[in-house]
């Protein structure tokens, strides 16, 4: 069947394109999408030229929910609300499929969710309750990244988890801190950020500090770096200073540049550094189940929504990206009517 896909042709320029899909899987109509920093880097053209040349034209967006239109295997009913998994494994992997070289990722290796319809295999679609807030549900993928990092941390950490430090007062820092508090209610969650106005929103955290104004004697058992870009360097430096021996440093922030790390102190303290990227099916299921059990999380997560844009044309899509770019905090949600 013919499908219309809306691709980024070159930075700041979208175009319609024609694709063809077979009727042998689950066909989903996207309803609410959410812009991620990674999409924004393509849109603004801030990825290296050779990356842009290799990947564009490509449909952006890997955070989205939708409604099932058709399922050849009848596992889903028409109208079922679903979250779509952007990671697409291609074979047997010895590692988690979100780290596999052979997996493809929507909005990175192939077309993302800005299209009339999306075809997925049954295991790339997770049903969500009809009463889930659609604006928050749009970024379940982002939540699942924090979720998988927290799950991996839980398996890795050998020292006590009494004090958990989160660096970064942006979207991922907020979500990671919130889900740490949910997963380890007895632990103290301490957030370190640059912007006081953002830190004020972390009402669920036990303590918040501006990075240049941390009280003496503050220590953490484990740390979560959600800063990214060149600022990761100073965040990791502060983490290494404040972390207790044999703690884990869980990295989430993406940087276009190599980041120097004080390895002498990593050795001396016996620290473990774990990288995190993307997520897999079990993480999506984990998030959906957690949200079902604790609907009060929606209230916190709603605080992240700064823009809701209705998309009926490619110009609307462009305006939404521009609006997202000038917002220094929060998520831009796209109500997809294109």
Partner 1 sequence: MIFAAILAGGIGSRMGGTDTPKQFLDLGNKPVIVHTIEKFVINEKIDKTIVLTPKNFINHTNQLIKEYIPNADDIIVIEGGETRNDTLLNSIRYIEENFGIDDESIILTHDSVRPFVTHRIIEDNIKAARKYGACDTVIPATDTIVESINGETIESIPVRDYYYQGQTPQSFNIKKLFNLIDSLTEEESNILTDACKIFTLKDEDVHLVDGEVTNIKITYPYDLKLANTILEDRND
Q: Which residues bind partner 1 (CB under 8 A)?
A: 1-2, 4, 16-20, 23, 27, 29, 69-70, 72, 78, 116-117, 312, 337-338
With beta carbons less than 8 A apart as the criterion, state whether 305 and 135 touch. yes
DSSP state at residue 334: E
CB of residue 337 vs partner 1: minimum separation in angstroms? 7
Cβ nearer to partner 1, comparing 17 with 126: 17
Cβ nearer to partner 1, comparing 69 with 305: 69
- In angstroms, the CA 91 to CA 147 distance is 24
Cβ nearer to partner 1, comparing 11 with 57: 57
Cβ nearer to partner 1, comparing 1 with 51: 1
CB of residue 29 vs partner 1: minimum separation in angstroms? 6
DSSP 160-222: --SEEEEE--SHHHHHHHHHHHHH-TTSEEEEEES-HHHHTT-TTSSEEEETT-PPTT--BSE
Cβ nearer to partner 1, comparing 130 with 156: 130
CB of residue 70 vs partner 1: minimum separation in angstroms? 4
Q: Which run of H or E residues covers position 6? A: strand 2-10
CB of residue 63 vs partner 1: minimum separation in angstroms? 20
**How big is the CA angle at 326 (ends 320 and 328), to the nearest 5 degrees?**
115
CB of residue 16 vs partner 1: minimum separation in angstroms? 5
With beta carbons less than 8 A apart as the criterion, state whether 281 and 83 touch. no
Cβ nearer to partner 1, comparing 23 with 265: 23
CB of residue 94 vs partner 1: minimum separation in angstroms? 32
> Please, which residues have CB within 8 angstroms of residue 62's CB and are 6 or more apart in sequence?
36, 38, 39, 86, 105, 106, 107, 108, 112, 113, 141
Place of tokens 């042998």: 24
CB of residue 10 vs partner 1: minimum separation in angstroms? 15
- In angstroms, the CA 286 to CA 304 distance is 20
Cβ nearer to partner 1, comparing 58 with 251: 58
């Amino acid at each position: 069947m013919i499908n219309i896909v809306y691709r980024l042709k070159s930075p700041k320029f979208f175009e319609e394109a024609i694709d063809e899909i077979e009727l042998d899987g689950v066909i989903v109509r996207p309803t609410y999408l959410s812009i991620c920093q990674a999409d924004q880097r393509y849109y603004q053209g801030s990825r290296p030229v050779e990356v842009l040349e290799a990947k564009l034209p490509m449909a952006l967006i890997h955070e989205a929910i939708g409604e099932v239109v058709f399922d050849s295997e009848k596992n889903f009913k028409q109208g079922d609300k679903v979250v779509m998994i952007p990671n697409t494994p291609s074979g047997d992997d010895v590692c988690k499929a979100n780290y596999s070289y052979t997996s493809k990722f929507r909005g990175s290796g192939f077309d993302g969710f800005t299209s009339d319809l999306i075809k997925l295999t049954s295991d790339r679609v997770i049903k969500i309750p009809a009463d889930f807030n659609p604006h928050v549900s749009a970024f379940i993928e982002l939540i699942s990244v924090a979720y998988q990092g927290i799950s991996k941390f839980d398996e890795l950490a050998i020292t006590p988890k009494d004090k958990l430090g989160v660096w970064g007062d942006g979207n991922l820092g907020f979500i990671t801190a919130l889900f740490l508090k949910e997963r380890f209610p007895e632990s103290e969650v301490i957030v370190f950020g640059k912007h006081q106005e953002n830190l004020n929103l972390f009402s669920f955290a036990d303590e918040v500090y501006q990075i240049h104004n941390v009280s003496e004697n503050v220590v953490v058992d484990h740390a979560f770096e959600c800063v990214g870009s060149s600022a990761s360097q100073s965040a990791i430096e502060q983490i290494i200073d404040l972390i207790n021996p044999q703690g884990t440093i869980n990295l989430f922030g993406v940087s276009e540049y190599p980041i120097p790390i004080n390895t002498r102190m990593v050795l001396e303290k016996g620290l473990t550094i774990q990288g995190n990227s993307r997520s897999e099916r079990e993480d999506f299921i984990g998030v959906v189940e957690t949200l079902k059990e604790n609907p009060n999380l929606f209230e916190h997560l709603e605080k992240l929504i700064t823009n809701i844009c209705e998309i009926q044309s490619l110009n609307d899509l462009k305006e939404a990206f521009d609006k997202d770019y000038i917002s220094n905090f929060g998520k831009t949600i796209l109500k997809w009517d294109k």
